[in-house]
């Protein structure tokens, strides 16, 4: 079976097809009138009629450690961004470096927000950085507050037990934590790509070994 990849930022008409099917946001995989939203390996296997075998999964505690490592690395990277490059964008992408950095921390904070408030609305992933968050250091400072909030949550008994309600349906909290961690990691890799294009050498970048065990694509812009 062959697939066509559609970048809805470069081809906005693709969003109309998603809206028609009731799909809230990308990423999504569509086969005819059937679809799977986000990263759901088992459902994706069923969608394309292949056998799914689940590999080893990181524990919630291991994911918490990885996520904090990722967020700390994002802080370091953002502090390196020259002011003149904060609004830099990738080809065919409308998100600036400043917005990308904010998004890494906002999507991570959404895990605790979901647990506390009982639901994960799609609007959280569409938020833009406040106007006064106007340099890399300010975005990194916001990241520190997110790391502190998450660290406090991770110390609670049963912090990753049970299920959660999200804009794409119900999901075990463990799976949401897994999704949160690889989502942040994928955007960190994009941030590294930007910094390389700026001619800046990334300080203490994470390696493939640091991210091992996270179920995300090898391509930076997937």
Q: Which two tokens stand for residue 191?
A: 């941030």
Strand partners, 166: 120, 169
Q: How far is CA 120 from the centre of its chain?
A: 14
131 confidence band (pLDDT: 50, 70, 90): very high
What b/e string do you get for 139-155 counting C-beta neighbours within 10 Å, with b at 16 or more? bbebbeebbebbeebbe
Residue 72 is predicted with a pLDDT of: 98
Residue 75 is predicted with a pLDDT of: 98
Residue 53 to residue 76: CA distance in whole angstroms: 37
- pLDDT of 93 higher than 80: no
Residue 149 to residue 12: CA distance in whole angstroms: 36
Residue predicted with more confidence, 128 or 8:
128
Average pLDDT, the chain: 87
Residue 56 is predicted with a pLDDT of: 74
Kindly state the percentage of the chain with pLDDT values over 90.
Answer: 62
pLDDT tens profile 159-207: 999 999 998 888 899 999 999 999 999 999 999 999 999 999 999 999 9
Residue 78 to residue 97: CA distance in whole angstroms: 9
- pLDDT of 103 higher than 60: yes
Residue 167 is predicted with a pLDDT of: 86
- pLDDT of 218 higher than 70: no
Domains contained in the chain, CATH given: 1-55 (no CATH), 60-197 (1.20.120.450)
What b/e string do you get for 75-101 counting C-beta neighbours within 10 Å, with b at 16 or more? bebbbbbeeebbebebeeeebbbbbbb
pTM summary value: 0.84
Strand, helix or coil at 45? helix
pLDDT mean over 117-130: 93
65 confidence band (pLDDT: 50, 70, 90): very high
Residue 214 is predicted with a pLDDT of: 84
């Amino acid at each position: 079976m062959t697939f066509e990849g559609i970048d809805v930022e470069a081809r906005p008409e693709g969003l109309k097809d998603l809206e028609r099917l009731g799909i809230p946001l990308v990423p999504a995989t569509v086969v005819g009138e059937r679809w799977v939203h986000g990263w759901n390996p088992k459902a994706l296997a069923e969608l394309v009629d292949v056998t799914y075998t689940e590999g080893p999964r990181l524990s919630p505690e291991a994911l918490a450690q990885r996520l904090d490592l990722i967020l700390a690395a994002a802080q370091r990277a953002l502090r390196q961004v020259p002011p003149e490059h904060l609004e830099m964008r990738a080809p065919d992408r409308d998100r600036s470096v400043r917005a990308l950095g904010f998004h890494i921390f906002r999507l991570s904070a959404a895990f605790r927000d979901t647990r506390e408030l009982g639901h994960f609305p799609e609007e959280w992933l569409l938020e833009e950085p406040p106007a006064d968050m106007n340099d890399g250091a300010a975005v990194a400072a916001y990241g520190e507050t997110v790391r502190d909030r998450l660290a406090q949550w991770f110390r609670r008994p049963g912090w990753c037990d049970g299920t959660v309600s999200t804009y794409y349906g119900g999901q075990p909290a463990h799976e949401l934590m897994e999704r949160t961690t690889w989502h942040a990691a994928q955007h960190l890799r994009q941030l590294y790509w930007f910094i390389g294009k700026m001619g800046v050498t990334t300080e203490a970048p994470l390696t493939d070994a640091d991210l091992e065990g996270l179920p995300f694509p090898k391509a930076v812009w997937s």
